[in-house]
Amino acid sequence: MFLSHLIKFILMVSTHSHNLKKDPADTASHSTADGDSMLSTKDRLLEAVNNDPDLPALGSSISRIVQLSSSDEESIRKLAYYVLSDVSLTQKILRLSNSITFRTSSSKVVTSITKAIFLLGFNTVKTCALALLLVDGMSGKRAEHVRTELIHALAASMVGRELAKYSYFKDAEEIAVAALFKNVGRLLLAAYDQDKYQEMMALIKDGSHTPAEASMKALNFSLDRFAETILEQWDIPASIIQALKTKPDTLKTPKNRQEWMQQAAELSERAVPLIFPIETSRKVKLEDELLARFGQAFNLDKSKLHLLITDAAKETRALGTNAQLTADDENKEISADTANTESETGYEEDILGDFVFESEKSDAVEIVQCHPSGKPFNADALLLAGIQDVTEVMAAGNYKLNDLIMLVLETLYSSLGFRFITLCLRDAKKNQYRARSSLGKNNAHYQQGFVFSSVLSDDLFCLSMERNVDLLISDATVHKVRKLKPRWHTDLLPDANSFIVLPLVVNKSPVGLFYADREHKAPEGVTTEEMQLIKTLKGQVLAALNSK
C-alpha cells in the first residue's frame, strides 16, 4: 500500500517538474482539450515548409544576397554576378531601374546591372533583388492571401528604405531587408494553411487581439518565434532576426543601431496600411497611433510621416508592378487586396515632360531575339548602349577600375550572348597571364583554371597579343583552329565551339586580354559595325588602365 502511494507521489512530482520547464507556448498547447490537434498545426506547418522543394533554394539565394555588404568592394561584383545568373531577375531589375520612381535622372537609361548599382546604389538593388526573389520563390502559391502578404512585405521594406534616409546610424539601409521579413510568419501561414491564416487575421481585424495574442489563440504557438526558426534555417544574420523582435515597452530615442533597427522594423510593419487606400477616419487614427508611439524616437511629425508614406507608396507601386503583383500602371494606387486600383491624384505632375528629348524617354534596350548560337539579333544596339554606360561612368571620374571592367564584361557578355567571359591580366612576378574577373556559367571554376605562361609561343592566344590582333573564332572545331589552340584551353573549355580573343596592348607591350566563348558555333560572325563597337569598348578599358 505504502509503495503504491510512493510511486504515485513520485510520478506526480516528476510530471509537475517537467511542466515547469516547458516553454509557455508549449504548456498552453497541452492545457486544452484539443491540445494535440493544436500542436499538430505547428508540426504540419513546419513539415510543409521543410518539405517544400522550392524553399531551401529560396532561403539559400536570399542568404547569399543578405550577407553582401556595401562596405565590401567585392560585394558589387558578387551582387552583379548573382543577378546576371538569373535571366528573369536581371530583366526585372532593369525594368525597375528604368521605372519613373527609381530612375535617378530622366536622361540616364539603365541598360546593365552594373550601371544600375552605380546609379541606384548597392543597397537599393540589393533590397529590390531580395524582394523579387521572395515573390518568385512563392510563385507557386499565389492564392489571394499569399499575394496580400507579399505586397505587405514589399510595402514594409519600402517604408524601411525611406526611414533609413533619416537615420544617423551606419548601414541603416539594412532595415529595408529586416522589414521585408517582418511578416514572413504570416506569409508562410497563408501559403500552407489558409484556414488558420484566416482565423488568425479575423481576430486581428476585429480588434479583439494583438497579432501575438491572435497567433496564440488561433494556432496555439508563437508565429513570430516560428518565423525566427525559419530565418535561422535560411542563415539570415542574427542582427536582422533580432530586429524583428517587437519592443513591448514605451519607446525612447534609440541609443544604438540594433535598438533603432527594432523600432524601425516595427514602424515599417505598422505603417503599411497607410500605403493603401483606407477610410479617412481609420487613416487619421492610425497616424495618431504611430506618432504617439514612434514620434519622439524618430523625430516624426505628421508632415514628415506623410512624406515618408508618399515616397514609400511610389516605390511599392513600382516594385509590385515589376514583381507582377499589381496592375502594370505606375500612375495608379495599389490596393491592399490587389483586386482594384484607383486613379492617383496626389502626385506632382512633371512640368518638363513635354520638352524632354524623345531619346531620353526611351526604355532600356532589351534582347528581342537570338541566333542559334545565343548572339542577339540587336547586338549592335546593345553594344552601343553599353558604350554609353561606360562613357558616363568614366566621365564622372570617381569610378573604381574593377567596377568599370565589370561593366565592360557585362556589356560584351549580354550584347553578344556569350556563355563565359573573362578579363585576363599579366602577372609579371609569376610570368603568366591569369583571369582576374569573369561572368557567366561556371565562371568561378573557369576563372580559377584560366592561367597560362607569358613566355611567347605559337598558340593563338600568344600570337593574338604579340601581333595585337582581335580574333573571332566562329567555329572552333575546324582543323586550323584546333591546331593553334593551347592544351590548357582544350582541357579547361573542351565545349567552347566559338570564341573571341581581344588583346590588351599598352605601348606595344601586352598586358592581358578579353576572352569570351559559347557552347555553339556562330556562323553569323560579327558585322563591321559590331566590330567597331567592340574595339571602342576595348579602347575604353585601355584608356582606363592608362589613367589609373
Return per-residue pLDDT of the chain as tens, 548 residues.
444 444 443 344 344 444 434 444 443 344 443 444 444 688 888 888 888 887 888 888 899 899 888 777 678 888 988 888 888 888 889 888 888 888 765 556 788 888 888 888 889 999 999 999 998 888 666 578 899 999 999 999 999 999 999 998 988 999 999 999 999 999 999 998 889 999 999 999 888 888 899 999 999 899 999 999 999 999 999 999 999 998 877 788 899 999 999 999 999 999 999 999 889 999 999 999 999 999 999 999 999 999 999 999 999 999 998 888 876 554 455 555 543 433 333 334 444 444 444 444 444 566 668 999 999 999 999 999 899 889 988 887 778 888 889 999 999 999 999 999 999 999 988 999 999 999 998 888 999 999 999 888 889 999 999 999 999 999 999 999 999 999 999 999 999 999 999 999 988 899 999 999 999 999 999 999 999 999 999 999 999 888 76
**Residues 155, 76 share a domain:** yes
Nearest alpha-carbon partner for 520 in 489, 496, 501: 496
Q: For position 532, which CATH number holds? A: 3.30.450.40
Our measurement of the distance from residue 260's CA atom to the centroid of its chain's CA atoms, rounded to an integer in Å, reads 23
Indicate whether 34 belongs to any domain. Answer: no
- pLDDT of 345 reads 35
**Residues near 120 by beta carbon (within 8 Å), at least 6 away in sequence:** 97, 102, 104, 110
* Distances 481 to 98, 455, 468, 476 between C-alpha atoms, Å: 43, 20, 18, 6
Cβ-contact 159, 267 below 8 angstroms:
yes
Among 329, 358, 392, give the residue marking a domain's end: 329
Kindly list the distances between the CA atom of residue 79 and the CA atoms of 84, 109, 148, 262, 406, in Å, as whole numbers in the listed order: 9, 20, 28, 26, 11
Both 147 and 292 in one domain: the answer is: yes
**Residues 246, 212: Cα–Cα separation, whole Å:** 10
Q: How far apart are CA 516 and CA 409, in angstroms?
A: 9
Task: Give the dihedral sign, CA 179/185/186/188.
Answer: positive
Residues 283 and 427 in one domain: no
Residues 281 and 385 in one domain: no
Residue 257 in domain? yes
My answer on whether 279 and 426 are in the same domain is no
Q: Please state, in angstroms and rounded to a whole number, the distance separating the CA atoms of residues 489 and 487.
A: 5
Residue 233 placed within a domain = yes
DSSP 8-class letter at 330: T
Question: Are both 161 and 286 inside the same structural domain?
Answer: yes
- Whether residues 283 and 407 share a domain: the answer is no
Question: Considering 329, 355, 371, which residue would you say is the last residue of a domain?
Answer: 329
List alpha helices for 474-521, DSSP H. 479-484, 487-492
pLDDT given at position 344: 38
pTM check: above 0.95: no
Give the span between the Cα atoms of 345 and 325, in whole angstroms. Answer: 22
H/E run at residue 538 = helix 528-547
CATH of the domain at 223: 1.10.3210.10
Tell me the residue type at 327: A
- 210 & 68 share domain: yes
Q: 218 in a domain, yes or no?
A: yes
* 108 and 241 both lie in a single domain: yes
* Cα angle for residues 519, 524, 530 (degrees, 5° grid): 100
In a domain, 360, yes or no: no
Same domain, 186 and 280: yes
CA distance 421 to 428: 22
Q: At what angle do helices 73-84 and 87-97 cross, to 10 degrees?
A: 110
Residue 434 confidence (pLDDT): 95
Angle ∠(313,228,297) on CA atoms, nearest 5: 50
Q: Does residue 87 lie in a domain region?
A: yes
Residues 319, 421: one domain? no
State the residue range of the domain holding 238: 49-329
Number of domains in the chain: 2
3-state secondary structure of 278: coil
| 74, amino acid identity | E
Which domain-ending residue is among 299, 329, 359?
A: 329
In-domain check, residue 6: no
Q: Does residue 215 belong to any structural domain of this protein?
A: yes
The verdict on 124 and 265 lying in the same domain is yes
